[in-house]
Amino acid sequence: MKFGIVGTGVIGAGWATRALSRGWDVVATDPAPGAEARLRTAVERSWPSVRKIGLYPGADPARIEFVATPQDVGERADFVQESAPEVLELKQTVLRAVDETAGPDVIVASSTSGLLPTRLQEGMRHPERFVVGHPFNPVYLLPLCEVLGGEATAPDVVERAIAVYDDLDMYPLLVRNEVDGFLGDRLQEALWREILHLVADGVATTGELDDSIVYGPGLRWAAMGTNLTYHLAGGEAGMRHMLKQFGPALEWPWTKLVAPPLTDELIDRMVEGTQEQAAGRSIAELERLRDDYLISVMYSLRESRLGAGSIIARREGRTVDRAAPTRWTPGMEIETPLPLYQCRVAPDWVDYNDHMTESAYLLAFGWASDAFFRYIGIDEDYRAAKHSFYTVESHLVYTKEVSTGEPLVFTTQLLGHDHKRLHFFHSMYHGDSGDLLCTNEQVLVHVDMEAGRSANTLDGPKSVLDEIWKVHGLMDRPPKAVMNITGR
């Protein structure tokens, strides 16, 4: 995939980082002087963040081609994302330019945060291929992307655009009706207007208002949003009781949804308040802080598969699927040992010393085992038929520490197998230095899950294990291997 970007400011650069981390090529343009250098610097600055959540094979920040015009992007790209300034006439001009040269199957999308797609697609020769794909900053981390078409947009184009954003590990949210500001920004705007009123009236400072969100509802919103949170507030009767009990309060004069005048005094208060909150930290420092805590929140939600945590869990699974070799087929060379899996140390894999924890080693070796299973033909269909391997014994030997973000490479050696049992040995290496970090030896038994007992390995995986053994049986036994199931 070659992902086209027109406009390389904060949003466009965020799209570039997300596409590059997915392993795609990027072709970009921006008429501002020095735009290419700023784009490459922005990608470099955000790259450590996407490395922490996992890179796809081929991901490389250097895979950017910078071209002169929107027409050049249209000619080269498979999908185009316009991120020009929020001016209707300017966006229309840019979109028409891309539309002139883009191939017939190329979708042209806009990152607009509130302009209606029907207006934006006016004057395009092929308005049927236009959609809005509105992301949230930082684009390379936050998964939400609001997707909607205009009156002339073909329904299948919306579906195809959703598929592209999904492949970028985003959460494409279909906006079913054209409405100014879409969904997320309308909600944010309501909160923003109330903030301005409270500051203008001298009720609270910007820091106090942010604290009222950060330490309370903001943490709930990350996983459940507002409506499900209020549903829980109603107790066993849920939302109905909540509305019955608290609904009358909606008539109280608590909020002021009409925005106050942006007087010089109000602007000064907002600026002074946020500068005090920044406490002398630069934008770059605050961006790094923001990125780190967003990653931590998303990873903390991963195990529960809530909110953005479900996206992280899906990304990990997809990374394993695409990084691992294809299932072995006759004639395919069997390497000694098998290089089946690689990853990076995730933020929640380390302790207070920034060292990978014992449980994280088991998790990482578990991913390596999954890659081996896929290689021999044990996949979702195999497990759906109620067959799998269960671990009987596992042995870890730690050699060197490893910290957050560092690359890991795994190899697997088959030490033996019979009709029911499987014995293999994983080695974990540092992806850059090549140092051995840890080894994991496992003995497993094949199980008929429906019957609840051990059973013979099915013919497909058994035949692949036989072929691997023809090669791995000639290898020396690893010095750190201590278990034996075959008398070897």
pLDDT digits (tens, 9 = 90+) for 223-277: 878 888 878 777 887 888 777 787 777 777 777 777 778 788 988 887 888 888 8
- Tell me the sheet residues that pair with 389: 446
Residue 487: predicted pLDDT: 41
- Tell me the sheet residues that pair with 135: 145
Distance separating alpha carbons of residues 98 and 343, to the nearest angstrom: 37
Residue 35: predicted pLDDT: 98
Please count the other Cβ atoms lying within 10 Å of the Cβ belonging to residue 353: 9
2-174 folds as Rossmann fold (3.40.50)
pLDDT tens figures, 189-210: 999 999 999 999 999 999 999 9
Residue 324: predicted pLDDT: 54
90: left (phi over 0), alpha (psi -120 to 50) or beta: alpha
- Is domain 324-472 annotated with CATH 3.10.129.10? yes
pLDDT tens figures, 373-415: 999 999 888 988 999 999 999 999 999 999 988 999 999 999 9
The mean pLDDT value of the chain amounts to 91
Using the Cα atoms of residue 169, residue 173, residue 174 and residue 175 in order, give the sign of their dihedral: negative
Residue 77: predicted pLDDT: 98
The CA angle 211-213-219, to the nearest 5 degrees, is 115
CATH number of 184-280: 1.10.1040.10
Comparing C-alpha atoms, which of 409, 404, 405 is closest to residue 433? 409
Give residue limits of the domains in the chain: 2-174, 184-280, 324-472
Residue 319: predicted pLDDT: 67
Residue 488: predicted pLDDT: 43
Instruction: Give whole-number Cα distances, 230 to 210, 233, 252, 419, in Å.
Output: 20, 5, 18, 55
Query: In 3-state terms, what secondary structure has residue 7?
Result: coil
Residue 61: predicted pLDDT: 97
**What are the residue ranges of helices labelled H in 324-458?**
358-376, 380-384
User: What is the residue-wise DSSP string for 183-239?
Assistant: THHHHHHHHHHHHHHHHHTTS--HHHHHHHHHTTHHHHHHHHHHHHHHHHHTGGGHH
In the block, tokens 């961006």 appear at 287
Q: Which residues of the chain have pLDDT under 70?
A: 319-325, 485-488
